[in-house]
Amino acid sequence: MIFTSPTKGQLTFESMFQDIADFISQHPEDHYRLIVGTDSQLRENACFVTAVVVHRVGKGGRYYYTKDTENVGESLKKRIFIEASRSLALASQLSDRLAEEGLNGIELEIHLDIGSRGDTRSIIKEVAGMVSGTGFPAYIKPNAYGASSVADRHTK
């Protein structure tokens, strides 16, 4: 899987993780949030973008994203579940690497592109429950900027 960083260009998962670890090590006393969010845009196929945001709370951050397409049909519910599954898979990978590197104090959260307004309101409990059941906190709009702003920017 290849990730794109607006400042570093294309990176492998390991290169991205090392960049995150280096960013955190610059100011280890600060508070960090590590966010994973996925958004999709339906065209001929669905374009999925999964973003990883490392946020140094109150002091900025950086992000990375991966992008691919998949033929999943037109069902919004199916796309939302695929978005959540992609975020969970990447969050699990990141969580394992954080543990290996002794960075257990970093909060890892999943941002879902669903909210109490619009077509996705009927599946909030299902999708958020799926994520919460894995142990990751699930955020929905308007607090899900990892999916609804960062990932969304690159689905266009």
Q: Is the pLDDT of residue 74 over 90?
A: no
- pLDDT score of 104: 81
CATH number at residue 24: 3.30.420
The residue segments making up the domain with residue 140 are 2-153
Helix (H), strand (E) at residue 40: strand 32-42
- How many beta carbons lie within 10 A of that of residue 7, not counting itself? 8
- pTM for the full predicted model: 0.95
DSSP per position, 44-107: SSEEEEEEEEEEETTS-EEEEEEEEEE---S-HHHHHHHHHHHHHHHHHHHHHHHHHTT-TTSE
What is the count of structural domains for the chain?
A: 1
Q: Is the pLDDT of residue 118 over 90?
A: no
